[in-house]
Structure 1
């Protein structure tokens, strides 16, 4: 009972966070504080995805829910990528963190689907803990990244450093 209520409240809070990131980015775009249309589009797309999947949860076959969520995240990734191509813009840190978060979430959902549905595992183990913590941390990280639009964990800086080192080694 407590676990299901906590999951409901946490899910609602995450959807609310994505809605607030959309409203904030839209507001910043309207008053010209930020001019990144992709950030507004990305925050809207991820809000819609989470809102629809969260509110249609009861309609899903409970055994297929992880597969359904992975499909939602994959489709959201594709929609954001198509939006980026149509807008012909470079992805900002908030969008890059969204790409990373949705990609890892998709993999975690697929691994849970494999473990529970395909392999018929009913005993909790490390993957279940990694999933529970990982999905929620990634969701909150995406919300924060969409709001502040900064490289909050230094992932982009690390990637650029490795890319520079590799380029120097090739010369």
Structure 2
């Protein structure tokens, strides 16, 4: 397979760590201009929180004696993406913050990941398929691309807002 490197546990751990650093960076950037663009800040903090909790980041990196495999991780990731979408909408409505265009794009990207997680869960856990097919080949790059797209979108919006503030004086 072309994506054998992505199935290596050490590579997955490294990619998860880099994505977590990306979400930390986005959170810091969006915090710098949260008054100018609170929608991006809300989205950044919710996504960072969901990523850390959904991936058991603290347990994953610091507690190495995790011997009980979790076979429903696709379902858990689906739940956290749905929770992230609901949280973003709820916080925006409660705080009466206007949705930024990037926030809508990010919710669409989360919906794509949700559908992908659901498809993998149904294929592997419900239908008990053990033969590799195009969905399996498409799954890892698509979810990574969606996560990176979310990080790049939030970072770009935050950097552009900071740049506007610097230019404005």
> The TM-score by the shorter chain falls in which range?
0.7 to 0.9
What TM-score comes out, normalization by structure 2 length? Answer: 0.79
Question: Structure 2, unaligned stretches of length 5 or more?
Answer: 61-65, 159-169
The number of residues matched between the two structures is 146
- Structure 1 length normalisation: TM-score? 0.78
What do residues 11-31 of structure 1 show as CA deviations (whole Å, max 9, x unaligned)?
Answer: 1111111111010010123xx
Instruction: Output the CA distance in 2 between the equivalents of 1:119 and 1:70.
Output: 18
2:17 maps to 1:12:
yes
1:141 matched to 2:149: yes
Unaligned runs of 5+ in 1: 151-171
How far residue 4 of structure 1 moved from its aligned partner, in angstroms, is 0.7
1:129 matches 2:137:
yes
Matches of 1:45 and 1:109, distance apart in 2: 19
Contact 1:15 1:50 (8 Å CA) reproduced? yes
Q: Which of structure 1's runs of 4+ aligned residues deviate more than 4 A?
A: 56-61
Q: Which residue of 2 aligns with 1:53?
A: 54
What is the CA-CA distance between 1:87 and the residue it aligns to?
2.4
Contact 1:38 1:87 in 2 (8 A): no
1:39-63 deviations in Å (ceiling 9; x for gaps): 1111000001001112256588521
The aligned counterpart of 2:28 is: 23
State the superposition RMSD in angstroms: 2.1
